Amino acid sequence: MSIKEMIQDHPAVGDDYNDELGEAVKHAMYGAAIMNSCADACLAEENAKERAECIRRCLDASDACTAFYRMASRRTHGNVPAIKAIGAATIIACEQCHELCKQHDDPHCKRCAQMCEEVIRDVKKATQLMADNRQG
């Protein structure tokens, strides 16, 4: 099953499918899970108490990604201003998560940092296209 195909098959979308938005939704979904898992893995590290800020940032980024993918995948009467606003918040949360995770050497934080980069790139691209073309 593909979320991109699900969005494309929506009756309100038709030939107006925004591939960049579909990619951003997909990566935000993955990001939500990976960032949540990274926070949990940080809790299991011996220095979990020292990672409180990283854990918080991972959870914030996960929640922002969840909100973005849920709002951006709804296409009936596309609420472009709200999608752009949650996209901006998602970018900020992922940038903050990335800032801390990239400093850690463990595999889960490295994977999380990489996922943050993908979400940031894709959400920026999708929301810019929405602004330029007024696509929802």
**pLDDT, tens only, 34-61:** 999 999 999 999 999 999 999 999 999 9
Gap between the Cα atoms of 54 and 39, Å rounded: 7
Assign 104 to helix, strand or coil. coil
What are the CA-CA distances from residue 118 to residues 12, 67, 101, 109 (Å)? 27, 17, 14, 14
Q: Please give the residue range of the domain that contains residue 62.
A: 18-133
What is the pTM assigned to this prediction? 0.88
- Give 129's contacts (C-beta < 8 A, 6+ positions apart): 18, 20, 21, 135
Identify whether 84 is part of a domain. yes
Kindly state the tokens that stand for 128: 């810019």
What type of residue is 23? E
Where residue 49 sits, what CATH number does that domain have?
1.20.1270
pLDDT value for 85? 96
Identify whether 12 is part of a domain. no
Gap between the Cα atoms of 114 and 3, Å rounded: 21
Residue-averaged pLDDT of the chain: 88
pLDDT value for 3? 63
Identify whether 6 is part of a domain. no
| H-helix segments, 45-101 | 52-72, 80-101
Identify whether 7 is part of a domain. no
Tell me which residue of 76, 78, 37, 79 sits closest to 58, measured CA to CA: 37
Provide the number of structural domains found in the chain: 1
